[in-house]
Structure formats: C-alpha cells, structure tokens
Amino acid sequence: MGAITLDKVEKWFGNVQVIKGIDLEIQEGEFVVFVGPSGCGKSTLLRMIGGLEDTSRGAMLIDGNDVTDQPPSRRGLTMVFQSYALYPHLSVAENMGFSLKVAGASKAEIADRVSYAASVLKLEPYLDRRPKDLSGGQRQRVAIGRSIVRDPTAFLFDEPLSNLDAALRVEMRYEIARLHKNLQRTMIYVTHDQVEAMTLADRIVVLEFGHIAQVGTPRELYERPQNLFVAQFIGSPKMNVMPCKTQPGSYALTCGGGGEYAMSSPAAHLGIRPEHITVTQAGQGNCDGRIDVVEYLGADTFLVLDCSDSGMITVRINGDTDLKVGDQVGLSFDSAKLHFFDAQEQRVAD
C-alpha cells in the first residue's frame, strides 16, 4: 500500500506549462525527495499528487487505481505543510485528533490513535499544552502527529522544516527519518535544501524547469551526475566546473594544465568536487591559482582560488592550515574523480 505512479503528467496555468510530462514510479514504503531551484515545479507536483492541484494531462495512480480526477479526501494521503496550521485554542491532543472528530470517530478510537502518534513522536508530556507553549520543533511534530492519526497511505511533506532554525532542522531531520523507519510508509518530501535531500531520501528526484533532470539515490547523484545542472546542484560547496579540451586518452584545461583520462567522446567541461583537489606547490599540479578567500569552518577549511581562464575554484582541505589570502599554489586533481560533460552539458561516458 502506497505505490504512486505518475504517467506523463502535465500542469498548465493558461498558456504556461509548469509540469512537462513527468513519468515517475514511487515504490511502496519509499522515501522520495523532490529538490530543485525555486520555480522548478516541485511544490506544484506534490500538490498534484495530493489532489490540491488538478492534473492537466496524464494520469495519477495510487496502488494501481487511477485517482487523477479524485478529490484529496479520496486519495488516502496526508500533507504536512511549511506552516504548522495548529488551532491555538486547542490542546496538542485535540489538535492531533481534530480530523478524526470531524469524521465522526469515537472518543475511544481518537484517544487510541492520538496516544499512538504521541508515543511515536515523543509528545506524551505535552498532550495537554496549547501550541503557544511549545517550541517550533514540537509544533512541527504535532503537525506530523495530526497526519499520523489518519493512518494515511502516504505522507506528503511540503518544505516542513524551512521555518525552523538550524539546530531544530537537524533535530527534525532525525525525527522524520526515525518516523519513516518506524511507520514504513511512503513519504514524498519537497525541499530546496540538498542536505535534507541527501540525508533523508531513498531516492532523489531533481527537477529543472518542470521536468526531471535525474532520479537516483543520493550516492548516484553525487558520484555520477548525468548532466551539468545536477552536478552543480547536488553537493555543497557545488562541483567545480571549468572548460577543457579533450582528445583520446587525455584532457587539457584552458589555464594550461591537463592530464591523462580515457573517455568515449569529446568533452567541453571538466568537473571535480572540492574534496577531490589537493593543494600543491605552484607549477606542480594540474592548475595554478591565487587564494582569494579562506573560509575556516573548524574541521574543514574552504579555499576559493582565482585560476585565471579556469575561473574560480573551491577546494576543501583540513581545517588546520597555514594557507592565507594571496598565496599562489598549485592544484592537483584526483584523476579517478573527474567528471566530463559535452557541449550540450550532458555527461560523457567513461
């Protein structure tokens, strides 16, 4: 229960197409995260699955049943929004059980389901409190608990942590991951935060201008991005990309360096992640650069270097370093971690 299929779904607002023929299979019990830049259509697609937006073309199936034209109440899904939307005059227990009360459930059934949700979310000590007496993370847990009591086929999360501070976001990521493990229900989660996507997802769906750029596990997207957009969207700091020229067995950078690498077809761009670059003496690496910025983060330090024709390159090194702004250094690339893309910004097979 909870398998969701999108079959060539489209969404049009007048003459503007915002969802462009998406095909996607979400397996029962899977945790799928939609990510992408603002305006890419991720929230619209989630609302289409939930029935809050109609589907202009294509079909939406839940457990093999066509629900394209069904209202939200007939789909068996529940949605957790960015806003907690709690009733301020009701207690935590009353907020979580409100939908069951409206549906005519008995007091005993409501009490049982609220008790179960509270135990899952560790809210038992707060059941008699009002929302104003809770922290932001506790309020979000109440909003999730309100969904749990409905025993849905699948959970839909629309950027539920964006209102929380950094520490609470980390705490709630753990809570949501634990919730998925305990409930074993299908979850679809929308976020612009790639850290949330990488840490929570079984699979990530990267959206770009209303279509799917790539679908895969976090590791697949990080290690084998299929195009330049995914390569630079997934990963923080983002992947370094620089122009290059290739010939069979080797590549050359516009700043003059290069090396050996076997590839199946010509490439126009070389990509490498910051942690796969080693700082060396000038003239001894693949490329030279001048340090423009040093960002000390404790365990790590990020160096931002001006590498002339190759542009600005970010390097991740150990936090303990004597390097400083203005130093001229060489950069050595890990040849096993290079990514090549053609002129159409698609991955070149190696």
Report helix, strand or coil for 27. Answer: coil
The pLDDT value recorded for residue 263 is: 73
- Structural domains in the chain, sorted by start: 4-228 (3.40.50.300), 240-341 (2.40.50.140)
The string of pLDDT tens digits covering residues 319-344 is: 989 999 999 999 999 988 999 999 99
- pLDDT, tens digit (0-9, with 9 covering 90-100), for 218-247: 999 999 999 999 999 999 899 999 998 888
Give the residue, 127 or 83, on which the prediction is more confident. 127
Q: Contact at 8 Å (CB) between 137 and 172?
A: yes
Cis peptide before 237, with omega less than 30 degrees from 0? yes
Residues 113-134, mean pLDDT to the nearest whole number: 92
Q: Tell me: pLDDT of 248 over 80.
A: no
**Cβ atoms within 10 Å of 315's Cβ, excluding its own:** 24
Strands (E), the chain: 4-13, 16-26, 31-35, 57-62, 65-66, 77-80, 154-158, 186-190, 203-208, 211-216, 240-247, 250-253, 258-260, 269-272, 277-280, 287-296, 300-306, 312-318, 328-333, 339-341
Who's near 180: CB < 8 A, 6+ residues apart?
A: 31, 187, 200
Give 54-79 pLDDT, tens digit per residue. 999 999 999 999 999 999 989 999 99
